[in-house]
């Protein structure tokens, strides 16, 4: 079952999130972090799939401070232009605070039993990495996070399990940045990084230009096993 929930921001105001619940009505929680296209059908489908796996999944609207209710696709230049404009205007630190507020709401939902994890894609992958470092989330998964080389000073703060899916041909992450991230996280036993050779950014976005079913299935299978291990 899907519904909309309201989340209070730490500095006033409120925003919404898409919530999908398992048929049983109860399960561990997973905070789903959007790409640069808002809480669109791709994100809602991810939440619905997690609900089918037995999780309570919440995807908050992180662009609400700029424009509430963004719901666009990757199918036109106009939508890409808008997505990059929103990305450019996004306040990263406030985004993390909004995710912390969302995490607190998720933990308190009556259907959430046990632990709460997070999974993010693209911009959301960057934010999942930061949530692993800055919040009390129990486990985090980051798909092709961008600009992670800017945050390597926070690697030591990651005390809970973090799973990273990285594309070796990611057009948004230069090779030298990939190497620096890989070297930095290697020293933290809480972090597992998988590389997907020959794959480009957003290889797991169903219907996307660079979608690769084999790589997506491998990454999603690893994520499912990871959450089962750390959230049960």
Catalytic annotation on 217? Answer: no
The count of other CB atoms within 10 Å of the CB of residue 199 is: 23
Of 151, 165, 201, 210, the catalytic one is 201
**Of residues 170, 200, 210, 212, which has the active-site annotation?**
170
Q: Assign residue 225 a region: left if phi > 0, alpha if psi is -120 to 50, beta otherwise?
A: alpha
CA distances (Å), origin 158, targets 38, 138, 139, 173, 222:
27, 11, 10, 21, 20
* Long-range contacts of 145-154, Cβ-Cβ distance < 8 Å, separation of 24 or more: 145/120, 146/122, 146/172, 146/173, 146/201, 147/173, 148/173, 148/177, 148/181, 149/173, 149/177, 149/180, 149/181, 151/126, 152/180, 152/181, 152/184, 154/129, 154/130
Upper half-sphere CA count for residue 27 (Cβ side, 13 Å): 22
Rounded to whole angstroms, the Cα distance separating 7 from 59 reads 11
Q: For residue 151, indicate whether it is catalytic.
A: no
By annotation, the residues acting in catalysis are 170, 201
């Amino acid at each position: 079952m899907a519904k909309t929930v309201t989340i209070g921001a730490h500095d006033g105001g409120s925003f919404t999130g898409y919530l999908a619940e398992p048929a049983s009505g109860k399960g561990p929680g997973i905070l789903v972090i959007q790409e640069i296209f808002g809480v669109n059908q791709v994100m809602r489908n991810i939440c619905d799939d997690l609900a089918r796996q037995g999780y309570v999944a919440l995807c908050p609207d992180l662009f609400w401070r700029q424009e509430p209710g963004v719901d666009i696709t990757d199918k036109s230049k106009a939508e890409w232009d808008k997505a990059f404009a929103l990305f450019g205007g996004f306040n990263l630190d406030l985004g993390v605070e909004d995710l912390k507020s969302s995490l607190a709401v998720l933990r308190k939902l009556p259907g959430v039993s046990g632990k709460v994890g997070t999974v993010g894609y693209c911009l959301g992958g960057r934010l999942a990495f930061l949530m692993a470092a800055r919040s009390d989330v129990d486990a985090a998964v980051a798909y092709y996070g961008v600009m992670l080389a800017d945050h390597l000073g926070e690697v030591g703060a990651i005390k809970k399990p973090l799973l990273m899916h990285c594309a070796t041909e990611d057009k948004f992450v230069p090779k030298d940045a990939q190497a620096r991230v890989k070297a930095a996280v290697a020293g933290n036993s809480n972090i597992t990084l998988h590389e997907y050779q020959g794959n480009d950014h957003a290889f797991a976005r169903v219907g996307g230009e660079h979608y690769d079913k084999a790589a997506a299935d491998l990454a999603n299978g690893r994520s499912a096993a990871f959450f089962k291990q750390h959230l049960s």
